Structure 1
Amino acid sequence: MRRLGAVLLVQWAAGGAMGDAADYLGINPKGGQYSTTAGLHRWLHDHGSTDFTRALRNLACDLDAITAPINYRRRREALHNWALTRDTWQEITSCLPPVPGHIQPNLDDRKRQEASAFVWAQVTRGEPLFAPRTIEEEQPEGLRRAWLNQRSSTWGKLARPGRIHHFTALRGLLLQHAEHLIRKIDSDQADSWSSRG
């Protein structure tokens, strides 16, 4: 629903096809990631398409009233091939509080990749599904598959760490880094941040 709503808002503002609007937003139009699902069909059936359209029109009015809108597309473009560098990752993880005991958290490249996706999602307000996976792409095929199997678990712990102190601390540091990137991107005229951490 959220993807379809975003695509429709862009289509209303710019005209053109839904696929063009999805492309503008960085959503894969060929993958149908903005099309209606069975759940959305059910919701529309229960609530009516009028409520959905009315909610989008109200949102469009609210967006029109914003005097200094945030350019999320610029942020997505700036972080198009971005990932936390090893040096930045080391700097962030060195600030983590010590974990008692001899079983220590894993801070390998897989976690650096998921942390990068988390930061990307915070900066762009996108879904981590659409984050660049430059660290993962450098890995052998078998390792990429293994990483894929652990992706949602790590993402879930970063998104909602609960009582896991390590992930609570890591999330806080990653949010700080995201705010740092937001300030830099929004005030900088550079077109690409792909080589920066």
Structure 2
Amino acid sequence: MNNAAAYLGIKPKNYGYSTTVSFHRWMDDHGPEQFIQALRELANNFDAVSSPLNYRRRRGALHRWSLTHEAWQEITDRLPPVPGPFQPNLDDRMRQEASAFIWAQVTCGEPLFAPRAIEEEQPEDLRRLWSSQRSSTWAKLARSRMNHYTALRGLLLQHSDTLSKQIDSGISPRSG
């Protein structure tokens, strides 16, 4: 797993690779023969793809990437207005999480491993605060049914698609 992670450019800082309780439960229910068969079917599916995506290239292209202020402004300007006195937070923390969301979509990776260039520019106490809010923000971006987050997710997915096409066609993306 470490070799595969290194090849893809995944360098988790305080995370190891291990199997989960769900995996062990599945193995107890199905046995190793069925697991090996599933791996063979997966490999055959990969072999059948005529032009596979190069996720290594995508990760390399987005190694230090984040949404620029200008790109973030263009995205947020397209959001529908939110009625009432309580307005959504669209600051640099949200720009960082939107960048991680896009990175995860383009690379098919875990947002946990996304570059955090915006966050790294912040003072340590602010980085800790941002880190503590990460999972709730990610849940809103990934699954919320609130109109604002649904609209934002749609715009971020559009941006992800555009970025993926650029990278796959050989265009190096600028931050943004």
Per the TM superposition, whether the score is higher than 0.5 is yes
What is the match of residue 196 of structure 1?
Answer: 175
Distance of 2:167 and 2:8 partners within structure 1: 18
Contact 1:92 1:173 in 2 (8 A): yes
What is the match of residue 65 of structure 1?
Answer: 48
Matched, 1:96 2:70: no
Contact 1:19 1:29 in 2 (8 A): no
Please, which of 91, 96, 113 is the counterpart of residue 96 of structure 2? 113
In structure 1, the residue corresponding to 2:90 is in which secondary structure?
Answer: coil
TM-score, normalisation: structure 2: 0.92
Distance of 1:91 and 1:30 partners within structure 2: 33
**Gap regions ≥5 residues in structure 1:** 1-17
**Gap regions ≥5 residues in structure 2:** none
- Classify 1:66/1:83 alpha carbon distance in 2 versus 1 (closer, same or farther; 3 Å): same
What does 1:173-188 correspond to in 2, within 5 Å? 173-188=155-170
Contact 2:65 2:117 in 1 (8 A): yes
Deviations 1:88-118 (A, max 9, x none): 0001000101111121111000000000000
Contact 1:23 1:29 in 2 (8 A): no
The alpha carbon displacement at 1:47 in A equals 2.0
Distance of 1:93 and 1:70 partners within structure 2: 29
The alpha carbon displacement at 1:32 in A equals 5.7
* Identity fraction in percent: 65
Contact 2:9 2:60 in 1 (8 A): no
The alpha carbon displacement at 1:34 in A equals 3.1
What is the match of residue 154 of structure 2?
Answer: 172
The alpha carbon displacement at 1:182 in A equals 1.0
What is the match of residue 47 of structure 1?
Answer: 30
